[in-house]
Structure 1
Amino acid sequence: MSIMTGVKRPLEAVLGTDHQTLDHRHYDRHYDPHDARDKQQPKGMSKMPLHPTMAADEAIDMTTRTPSPTFPPLSGEIPDFNADASLVLVGIRGAGKSTLAIMASSALKRRVIDLENVFQRTRGASSAVYKKLHGSTECHRQQAKVLQNVLERNKTGCVIVCSWMESRVQALFREFAATHPVVHVVRDGDAIQEHLRIQDREKMDNLLKVSRAIFGTCTNFEFYNVTERQPDVLDSLSSDTLFDPVPAPYLTLKHAERHLLRFLSLIYPQGALPFMDSAFPLAGVPFEELQFTYAVALPLSRTLETGFQIEDHVEGADVVQIVVDDLCAKADSFGSDDFLSLANAITCGIGLTRRSTVVPLAIDVKLPETPTEEISQFYLQLVLHTMRLAPELVTINLMLKDADIAHLIASKGRARTIGDCLVTRDPQPWTSSTWTTLYQKASRLGCDMVRLRRPAGTFDDNIAVGHFRGSVQSLQCRQIPLIAYNTGEAGRHSVILNPILSTVAMRAEEEFSPSSSLLLTSYAAVQALAAAYAYDRMRMYVFGVKVGYSMSPTMHNSAFNACGLPHHYTPHSTESLSAIKHLIEDPYFGGASIGLPFKVEVITLIHSLSRHARAIGAVNTLIPVRHLNPDGSLPQGAEFFKAMGRAGPVKALYGENTDWIGIRACIRKGLSPANAVRPGACGVIVGAGGMARAAVYAMLQVGVQNILIYNRTLSRAEKLASHFKQLLQNPDFHSLGAGSDTRFHVIEDLHDPLPSSYHLPTIIISCIPTHRIGEAPSPDFTVPDGWLESRTGGVIIELGYKTLNTPLLAQARRQASRGWVAMTGLDLLPEQGFAQFELFTGRRAPQKVMRRHLLNAYRDEHERSNQELQSRMPSEVREVT
């Protein structure tokens, strides 16, 4: 992947110039792509094209101008935004702002305002034409008037798109950025050059450099829009896709959508993106409250390597720490040109990494122990730049002046800061007051955590750092989480026992230099803990009548092995729950998956149900609880996970349902951006058993407000609808779907027309068996053609996986050209398994490992492998959750 060659100049260099805007599309808030009954061209979706050659010529002309300073730079401080604050996307033509705006509008439930469209509508001509008729000065004056009017009238509930760069426009955006997110969208130069049809690379580079300098002074965030190329997509899918990996047409947009929504979730207050919160059990638990967590160090240079697969290198990571060490490596020669290149590379590296993994990102810019004033200033500017990229964590060197640290912390936005100090030259012993003073400094200045390290001289230093960790708890200051350990070979013992975010090496690195501070992987650290009896060999199961075919053991055992955990997962078929009593009371019982037909009956054994299990009325995950609160209740948050992996008497059983998590993931992955769930979206459930309940709950979790239910036994379908109607009357569940206004309709006959008051469905989930059960043949179910008339297609999910070549999936494949995507139980199984793994272990699941082993081991009911099915099965979307 090429790296963009331009980056914002030092903040003192504020430039002004002019530029021609892109032919954007405007998304109409009243247009509903789910309704195939409206055959007219959606309002506002037609392009208002400018002549491409003319636009490119004007962009080239801009690069020949000499910019001049205008106004001082932004302070760097990122305010707390209201959840409904309008979002602004700026950047040069070809950066992808319009597509991103439509994605953001769907997620945030907002309308898009394209400034170029508004200009053309209100001034009677595009900016390019107006400029030719009235001159640049008048055109820029009118652009500023249009922008000022739009910003004053649309402070909330909008996504505003703009490519203009004139100085008055910059001033307006700077003022707006005091209370709103104003995001500079950047992209690699090759893609923009191709879009603008600029032949001269030098002029293209100059355009990028000038635009980044300008937009960098009037925005408070920067987003790297990764260019997806077809070979890259195929490479990323090859190891995780069951079928011939020819991705659906919208696959690249799904990557971009997931990347953008994660970025938005980090700049807006929690809950601002409806139905976008992670469903995984550990998502709501701060990792610093968990025990034995790891930050995998990933050099920035590696993230930029072509073909580098990040997920292959961060197994077992709780945080991915991108390490930027250029200031140390080039301390004697680092200059302004290096700064520009490095800041640009950081933007690119963070974008590529965030697109490829769900693990939180920490940015660690290294500062030499004795930096020059110039190097210190470059360091401050680089850290401020990283905060514009919305990382979850940023390290701040504690050797800086108090005022500089305070300024960085004031600029962090929603990122959390780690006050950091590594002393390698004549380090003081852990008993020295130096370390206590550093801890107090980090606390006093507002750091969220502190990380202190020194090389170990002897093994006794490992004992000393343990005493130091205990001593800070008695300090009379604000208590913040402490990361403290020794580096070097002699310090490995302290790294293993450090409870919070020990920095470890990438899994793929098998040999380490003795001089390196990274001598352990997370795998080795966990294995050492197990050898020291911090983890016991726990026994996990899948219980059901016939579970010998289950793929769960393959998934979970591969995950245990990848993470260095000693546990083992076994299938256990039984005709009665009473026959498993000795297993679930075993001191080494670590948890179980519950299969048919026990998902409801197992509730009789359980002491406490999760909110989700209570809503669904079924359990698929059983967790032993070994520590209770003094009042007999179950511990919450991090306390719930602290006993995971340790043997002992089982004092209670906790029931969870993760089936809905897998189904929700399939819905979100299978729906193209055009079919993103909006008010009026409609889904169909086929079946009325336990999985159908999970499917309804998953639909409600993504915001579907209109649900149709079909089952051969009408009374069971009516019972299912009644269950959720009653549930949504409960105030605790009003946030699901449309709350009590959610509509349910039971289809009495498969060939009855769909109710006219409902939009055509874009989500169809079949929850009935796909294979022969006993003497009963497989249902061979298909849906009426009338269910598939959505103009934009949708997703069809067949929850079974013993048989993949079903009539319903064949029907979906025939409709692929019309936008229908087929997904199966092999898409659902790993997603719900990731959540189960977290519940079993209190650790993040190695998602790619679990998927790969599942697909490699898969056999259908006729014992055919996945390779035998490749020629007949469709491509499906695979991505990290």
Structure 2
Amino acid sequence: MATAGVKRSFAALDSGGTGNGSGSGSNGGDAPSSPHLNGNSNGSSKAARVDGSQTPRPRQSVETDHRPSRHTHAISSAASSNWSSYPGTESPSIAIGLSREPTPVASTTTTPQHGGVQHRTNGALPAFPADASIVLIGIRGAGKSTLAIIASTAMKRSVIDCERVFQSIVGTTSWAYKRDHGAADCHRKQAEVLRDVLAANARQCLIVCSWTDRGVQVLLRDFSRTHPVVLVLRDARAVGEHLRIEDDDRARSLLNASSAIFRGCSSLEFFNVTESPGAAGRDGDGDDADAQARKDALRGGHHPPAPYLTLKRAERHFLKFLSLVMPAGSIPFIESAFPLASIPTEDRRFTYALSVPLSRLLRNDVDMQDLETGADAIEIVVDCEPGQGDEAHGTDHNTTTTPGSGSNVLDAERLSDVARMVGSIRRTTVVPVVYHVVPPPGQQQADAWYMEHVLHALRLAPEYLTVDLARLGDYELSSIAAIKRRTKLIGHFTTPAAEARTWQDPVWMAQYRRARAQGCDVVRLIKPAAAIQDNFDVNRFKAQVADALGDTRGIPLIAYNSGPRGRHSACMNHVLTSVAVSPVSELITPPGAPLRPLITAKEATQALYGSFLFDPMKLYVVGAHVEYSLSPAMHNAAFRALGIPHHYSPHSTPSLRGLRSLLDDPYFAGASVGLPFKVEIIALTHSLSRHARAIGAVNTLIPVRRLNPDGSIPRDEKLFNCRNRAGPVRALYGDNTDWVGIRACIRRGLSPANAVRPSSCGLVIGAGGMARAAVYAMLQLGVQSIVIHNRTVANAEKLADHFGQLFARRDIPLLSTWSDAEARTTRFHVLRTRDEAWPEGFRKPTVIVFTIPNHAIGDVPAPNFTAPEPWFDSPTGGVLIDLGYKTLDTPILAQARARSHRGWVTQDGLDLLPEQGFAQFELFTGRRAPRRLMRENALRAYTDEKGRSNLAQLQPRLNDITEQEP
């Protein structure tokens, strides 16, 4: 319950004032003063982009005769107020007595009531339209406007801020209008403005709203039936600082009160994790030693990141969230470039879900950055009982009520804590989230507690959500399946150790069939092992499932034994085995305690090699002069961390003939291809990835040991599932990850002022294989004007012609959608000399990529290339990337560093190498790369052209690793 003081503060907040009741200046809404946020420049909300939003198609009614389980009344009662707070996920099968009028999500038919609960039947919630406008709501200071600008740039959408529209119509802020005309008139006017904004901007917009009046809530609740309405949360301290509330407890109470209201009119929830200034705030502070280290770092190619670069992680995090909410492929998400991104985790072999109790996360007992090592997913185990794990807040979450009372079992702060942990994990890792709820003891209360957590999980859009097959009946399972949208359900079933059911018991097959019938996407069956024999019996059970399905497509099955005797079957399970964060010393679980994993991902991987299922393999970096390469140190460290006994070494050769002995080795697992073979090596391959084919260069060579029956090379998961096994090489597959690394470096270096727009221009210096990857990376980011300069003009023209023909044939696999007009206006220009005038109609470049080797190679001296001054004339600066790392003090890098005060940011080969290496590691092993560890080891192994190591020079970079995007 909010105190009277909090209510007064919230009233001031609702009208646009600060938390202490005073005005906050001319901007009564959430947005900063920015012309990009004014969705109505001519004073009429009607003029704000009317586009004729489509009326959603009615959903088909589906008949069902499933009766509720014995838990239905308790679950329904607990959900009675919760469902009304989740309009976009309203139960399609249960109409529960609500304290306020519910918002229907579909036409329904009524069936007889059971236990006082009215049943409704209808189809699953449809996906949001790809062009549906997205509404961001929440308390002022949550960061809605910043997130809207971030998303608008990536999605090419307009930003509409309701408060600024209000000001353009009325001529004053909401707060001032309320003061002069009264609360009732202000709220009526806000509702009118919002109604017009939603009607006129139902497509291709991001709408920001901080208002909370009941009329506004009704409009948002109705809009959330067909559009994403996202509650944006943030920590109390950050919100308090924005609202100038010095008392943390008061800020927290205000935040909880507002969150409870906003949840009632939103369908989704995003926690905007506050970024610390980190490296951006270290420039110019510290002792003399630190100052000297910074100077050394500048000479070594590193400049402390600008403050805006801290938003890069927020950008990746928010776009990831939207990619899980909107239809597949409609959001240009950053990770989609990586090889494993296109393969569902449940379709890969020997994947691991790192099991992390929520209680540990709330206690800050886990290093978020280390969670990614060896994990293919993070399983958040919601294990806390109400009131547990909240001492840090000084609050009591034990606000439970008796089932049927109409009150929520979980309070607003508890729900926000869960959202915060999901947000923190997504901010620091790239792997999917599995949300698993373990209810507390106590039958009725546990049911209500469990169901509220499950419903809240759907608001957070986890990639996977477990549903307890033992706790929920068919009726509840099908209801959850109907509202899950893109979240995949894992039907979870286990039995108590005391029951000691064998795998021959029909209950296991019955639960598999039931989960499949009720809409689950994966089934997880775990049996406490009573004897070693159980580890063999579970394999027989899996074979029985396959036989029973016949030619019918089943759903992925997770099945293994728990406990010390079940570790063998856990290691041999193929799909998302739950693993521990660290080695477990106490193997015996107390009676009645929930199941917990007893092996780590590294131990499970080592078991696969120790049992000869996989083989130790050999990998190489090949090129004319690769003795100095940092790739061996980087990849070997990653192999050790994951428990993979592979070895990666350099192999220099003057010609491709020197690769014959490597390719004939049955233990050859792949190679990184260096200069000068990136184009020439295509002649040795039998198949190319779509990216390598478009680029016309290869930097990754993969052996293929198993062909399709027709002799073709397998694709996707079939290709990855054949990794890590020795045997004759039957074909070679070529891929290119250089462009992935270059794209990442460009993204990291671009400021908001230099965000890619149709007028943006890029400059590529060089015309070899790396230049091809650079052009491709720019195109993937949406750069439509590209200038190429190379000493040999014919090669530059050949490069420009290559990509020009691809666009003419519409044969380039762009990850983001380009319109026909954008494709037609994409243009290339070759600068024949350094002195040639900049091409007319091209803006000065904000992206410059230098692809020529920056050091001496054999008898060829270092190029010592400098760019003409006009090439740096962009008024907003830009990013310059020198792809070499043998020397970090090249003339062109020095030119850009000297212009850092004008907005120029530099990146070099030490930034690029790990970024492209992450994708290579996936291709080599079929596993996710430990990114932080690979970055660190590449830096620690670095030596300059004279073989000298200078960790002091690189220490600032090592410090900044934790601040980088995952």
Structure 1: runs of 5 or more not aligned: 8-14, 32-41, 45-67
Offset, 1:380: 0.9
1:397 counterpart (442, 460, 468): 468
- Write the distance in 2 (CA, Å) between the matches of 1:848 and 1:6: 43
Aligned: 1:715 with 2:794: yes
Offset, 1:299: 1.7
Aligned: 1:879 with 2:957: no
Q: Which secondary structure does the structure 2 equivalent of 1:599 belong to?
A: coil
- Write the distance in 2 (CA, Å) between the matches of 1:488 and 1:118: 60
- Write the distance in 2 (CA, Å) between the matches of 1:30 and 1:435: 56
- Write the distance in 2 (CA, Å) between the matches of 1:635 and 1:312: 33
Q: Give yes or no for contact 1:361–1:393 (8 Å, CA) kept in 2.
A: yes
After TM superposition, the structure 1 = structure 2 runs for residues 230-309 of structure 1, keeping only pairs within 5 Å, are 230-231=277-278, 246-274=304-332, 276=334, 278-306=336-364, 308-309=366-367
Offset, 1:548: 0.8
Compute the TM-score of the two structures, normalised by the length of structure 1.
0.89
1:499 equivalent in structure 2: 574
2:650 equivalent in structure 1: 571
Alpha carbons of structure 1 residues 127 and 338: separation in structure 2 relative to 1, 3 Å: closer
CA offsets 1:441-489 (integer angstroms, 9 cap, x no match)? 1111100001111210100111111111111123358621110111110
1:348 equivalent in structure 2: 420
2:588 equivalent in structure 1: 514
Alpha carbons of structure 1 residues 112 and 340: separation in structure 2 relative to 1, 3 Å: closer
Offset, 1:275: 6.6
CA offsets 1:570-627 (integer angstroms, 9 cap, x no match)? 1111122112212201111111111122222212211112222222222111111011
Q: Give yes or no for contact 1:6–1:212 (8 Å, CA) kept in 2.
A: no
Offset, 1:868: 4.6
CA offsets 1:669-692 (integer angstroms, 9 cap, x no match)? 221233222222111101111111
Q: Give yes or no for contact 1:505–1:518 (8 Å, CA) kept in 2.
A: yes
Q: Which secondary structure does the structure 2 equivalent of 1:733 belong to?
A: coil
Letter in 2 for 1:287: T
CA offsets 1:10-34 (integer angstroms, 9 cap, x no match)? xxxxx99944242524766799xxx
Aligned: 1:24 with 2:31: yes
Offset, 1:735: 4.2
Aligned: 1:413 with 2:485: yes
Offset, 1:422: 2.3
- Write the distance in 2 (CA, Å) between the matches of 1:830 and 1:683: 23
1:611 equivalent in structure 2: 690
Structure 2: runs of 5 or more not aligned: 4-10, 17-27, 43-97, 107-123, 283-289, 291-296, 390-396, 401-407, 590-594
Letter in 2 for 1:486: N
Q: Give yes or no for contact 1:418–1:450 (8 Å, CA) kept in 2.
A: yes
1:483 equivalent in structure 2: 558
1:358 counterpart (422, 426, 430): 430
Aligned: 1:459 with 2:529: no
Offset, 1:545: 1.5
- Write the distance in 1 (CA, Å) between the matches of 2:336 and 2:780: 11
Q: Give yes or no for contact 2:358–2:384 (8 Å, CA) kept in 1.
A: no
Aligned: 1:157 with 2:204: yes
Q: Which secondary structure does the structure 2 equivalent of 1:278 belong to?
A: helix
Aligned: 1:621 with 2:695: no
Q: Give yes or no for contact 2:29–2:210 (8 Å, CA) kept in 1.
A: yes
Alpha carbons of structure 1 residues 442 and 478: separation in structure 2 relative to 1, 3 Å: farther
Q: Which secondary structure does the structure 2 equivalent of 1:358 belong to?
A: coil
1:827 counterpart (887, 908, 911): 911
Q: Give yes or no for contact 2:481–2:519 (8 Å, CA) kept in 1.
A: yes
After TM superposition, the structure 1 = structure 2 runs for residues 595-744 of structure 1, keeping only pairs within 5 Å, are 595-733=674-812, 735=814, 738-744=822-828
Letter in 2 for 1:855: L
Q: Give yes or no for contact 2:615–2:725 (8 Å, CA) kept in 1.
A: yes
1:100 counterpart (116, 133, 147): 147
- Write the distance in 2 (CA, Å) between the matches of 1:307 and 1:750: 56
- Write the distance in 2 (CA, Å) between the matches of 1:490 and 1:650: 38
Offset, 1:783: 2.3
Offset, 1:371: 4.7
Aligned length: 832
Alpha carbons of structure 1 residues 633 and 29: separation in structure 2 relative to 1, 3 Å: farther
1:562 equivalent in structure 2: 641
Offset, 1:328: 9.6
2:178 equivalent in structure 1: 131
Q: Which secondary structure does the structure 2 equivalent of 1:536 belong to?
A: coil
1:226 equivalent in structure 2: 273
Q: Which secondary structure does the structure 2 equivalent of 1:250 belong to?
A: helix
1:374 counterpart (445, 453, 456): 445
CA offsets 1:685-706 (integer angstroms, 9 cap, x no match)? 0111111111101111111111
Q: Give yes or no for contact 2:846–2:878 (8 Å, CA) kept in 1.
A: yes
Q: Whose RCO is larger (CA < 8 A, sep 6+)?
A: 1
- Write the distance in 2 (CA, Å) between the matches of 1:510 and 1:734: 46
- Write the distance in 1 (CA, Å) between the matches of 2:569 and 2:954: 49
1:50 equivalent in structure 2: none
2:891 equivalent in structure 1: 807
Q: Give yes or no for contact 2:15–2:178 (8 Å, CA) kept in 1.
A: no
CA offsets 1:276-307 (integer angstroms, 9 cap, x no match)? 45211111111211111110111223334458
- Write the distance in 1 (CA, Å) between the matches of 2:910 and 2:477: 49
- Write the distance in 2 (CA, Å) between the matches of 1:122 and 1:96: 24
Q: Which secondary structure does the structure 1 equivalent of 2:729 belong to?
A: coil
- Write the distance in 1 (CA, Å) between the matches of 2:244 and 2:478: 45
1:193 equivalent in structure 2: 240
- Write the distance in 1 (CA, Å) between the matches of 2:780 and 2:619: 29
Letter in 1 for 2:526: R
2:608 equivalent in structure 1: 529
Offset, 1:124: 1.4
- Percent identical residues: 50
CA offsets 1:256-293 (integer angstroms, 9 cap, x no match)? 11111111111111221247452111111112111111
Offset, 1:403: 1.9
CA offsets 1:799-849 (integer angstroms, 9 cap, x no match)? 001001112222222222322211111111111111111111111111122
CA offsets 1:296-346 (integer angstroms, 9 cap, x no match)? 111223334458532313311111111111249979977267554432211
Offset, 1:792: 3.0
- Write the distance in 2 (CA, Å) between the matches of 1:381 and 1:177: 20
Q: Give yes or no for contact 2:224–2:267 (8 Å, CA) kept in 1.
A: yes
- Write the distance in 1 (CA, Å) between the matches of 2:12 and 2:29: 19
Aligned: 1:765 with 2:849: yes
After TM superposition, the structure 1 = structure 2 runs for residues 156-175 of structure 1, keeping only pairs within 5 Å, are 156-175=203-222
CA offsets 1:326-384 (integer angstroms, 9 cap, x no match)? 2499799772675544322111100111000001111111135x752222122111111
Alpha carbons of structure 1 residues 454 and 232: separation in structure 2 relative to 1, 3 Å: farther
